[in-house]
Structure 1
């Protein structure tokens, strides 16, 4: 498994004139919630005192995954040169036979560490993450609003979408259809068909509609649903079949004329390459956290570009979680025309900055050094080592 031999280097090492030795990496947690969420940070410190920090996104998983982070991931990076991060991401997979754990829990932990180190490296170099990962190709990212609900009626869902489109200027929307890994059962009888029909009628032809089934269907039913989506000019059909059923997903993609997107729960480089080469998908959709971070995600995008396949970053996160996929989308060579943005309105806050919101359907990519996020110093002081 030598990914570096297949894909040209991503991290621009020549920016750094001297080693950046990793002295410490720690998981921090606030003793209180902010809104409805627990807050975890991963902080990296170099031997010269440079600091990188990231929110540990997918925070609901940290409580279960942290032993892997602390026992099998962090120890590998200590004492290493952060400039070699690209090879370190490959090396940690072999460390202590981590390949035996090579699924979503492991790669989430790697992503958290990688992001804190990229923040550190960016601050050392005085450049944004996009600039040190090959260069920023686009300074702003068009978004599609992503509604994450299946518990609403078609009428309420479309009314919500219409309101948020007016507020954000978004040119695209994504609705949840089916029932989520539900063996062909809809969230409510007739909801999928009625939702898509009403959305197209209400929003008109100028708004791009996308549909996410979260693996709700077998291939036969997915094709039937896909024909209905095609009749309403839906732009892509996301995860029509369970994510592990690659043959079924490919069959759906082969039969339908509309684009099929998948990959948010994929963690294997080999499987992603196979999906791309065999044209199982029309749009690659890696999740920046689940798949292990920026470097692995950019590798997928570059591989997809060779096959003429677009990439869009899966990202239902809100708050500071909006920032990081924007950086990734700014430097991949083959972006889909829109990238995911949680449709729920984002409140102003003083615990992190910037609060990124779309204007005229796009969001500007932060250009500050590193990840471009700052956190309230009081909160960072109150965050304690999590053991």
Structure 2
């Protein structure tokens, strides 16, 4: 129960903990949670037992065609893996080529966990933050996991854990918060009607910093109107989620959270500024609706603090932004240790939906529904072990090697290497 969860700190550390200075040492109970989380972070994710001999990475290429990118990794023994880059690679390819790819050359791919730690030190890469480093790093990692999966003849889910979910439930992720309620609702209905879907996420609040108008707050009263209207339109059987993308202050987030509770929304995503961890906890401590956060995180600190201090219910690393599936799986493991759920954020088109379902398949504490926008993609591929359809609200996870998708070789050949 939420009430029991919220009573943890008051029982363990005293009611005055929230008023202590930020520099104060954690209570013994909280420190024990930190110790447990730190031990989890040290545990490797990649299953080395499938690879008895070194897998030396000989080349890491970035390929380009019509404004989109692929990463191709090859080993000295001729194994190959290709990943599809996030759409933002068109701005980040210099970091990929100069600051990320060179570190992987000559490394044993079986040491992928360690490589993903040490690359932050290489060339002072830690000075890059967010997706500037995470996205190039994830792109290489996906290609390596694809290569290793094909070598072992295993799906990626089996390389990074045990397969707990052969199907992944999805929610339709919608936008349009800048539009009037009636127009938004029609667009939402159209998106939901495209697929056999039983869960939906809407945007609430204003655009905050995601607009050229720094004072834009969205149509007045939009949230208060759309929340009950969406519930009325789709009925009680539709699972509803709400995302404010960090728009609210703590008092406003609590006010809106009460509205979401009234209309039985499943969780409230990014209710306040995504890196204001104490404020996230304040909202979570006050509301009964579960609080989700983590899409913008680029290191373990925020997740670690919020889990140690019991300030978050659902963790949401983005598999691209956070630097790949292995790093995200460590967050999932930390969450599982304290009964939390993982619902990874999904971004970037391409084959993001495929990378996401492979990850979710291996997360025992995965949520009921996961982010989905569509199967529309520029990528020419074939998936032989799953139809890539939403059936009764779920996507079947491919069981083929790697991520389970075969890229059209003629299409791949059209891509040209990117040079600086």
What TM-score, normalized by structure 2, do the two folds share? 0.85
Cα pair distance change 1:184/1:279, threshold 3 Å? farther
Does the 8 Å CA contact 1:222/1:252 hold for their aligned counterparts? yes
Aligned to 2:322: 291
Aligned to 2:82: 53
Q: Deviations over 1:145-165 (max 9, x none)?
A: 110222433234334444544
Does the 8 Å CA contact 1:180/1:215 hold for their aligned counterparts? no
Offset of residue 374 of structure 1: 2.1
Aligned to 2:51: 16
Aligned to 2:13: none
Q: Deviations over 1:256-299 (max 9, x none)?
A: 11011010000111222112111222110110010010000000
Higher Cα radius of gyration: 2
Aligned to 2:405: 373
CA distance in 1, matches of 2:226, 2:169: 24
Offset of residue 43 of structure 1: 0.6
CA distance in 2, matches of 1:216, 1:348: 30
Cα pair distance change 1:127/1:283, threshold 3 Å? same
Q: Deviations over 1:278-327 (max 9, x none)?
A: 12221101100100100000000000111111000101444522100100
Offset of residue 25 of structure 1: 0.2
Does the 8 Å CA contact 2:320/2:347 hold for their aligned counterparts? no
Aligned residue pairs total: 377
Cα pair distance change 1:348/1:87, threshold 3 Å? closer
CA distance in 2, matches of 1:9, 1:203: 43
Q: Deviations over 1:85-135 (max 9, x none)?
A: 111111111222222324331121111111110001001111110111122
Cα pair distance change 1:301/1:350, threshold 3 Å? closer
Within the candidate set 243, 261, 271, 1:212 is matched to 243
What TM-score, normalized by structure 1, do the two folds share? 0.92
CA distance in 1, matches of 2:349, 2:389: 10
Cα pair distance change 1:223/1:350, threshold 3 Å? closer
CA distance in 2, matches of 1:319, 1:155: 31
Gaps of 5+ in 2: 1-36
CA distance in 1, matches of 2:232, 2:220: 20
CA distance in 2, matches of 1:348, 1:67: 24
SS of 2:390's partner is coil
Asked if 1:199 corresponds to 2:234, the answer is no
Aligned to 2:264: 233
Does the 8 Å CA contact 1:185/1:216 hold for their aligned counterparts? no
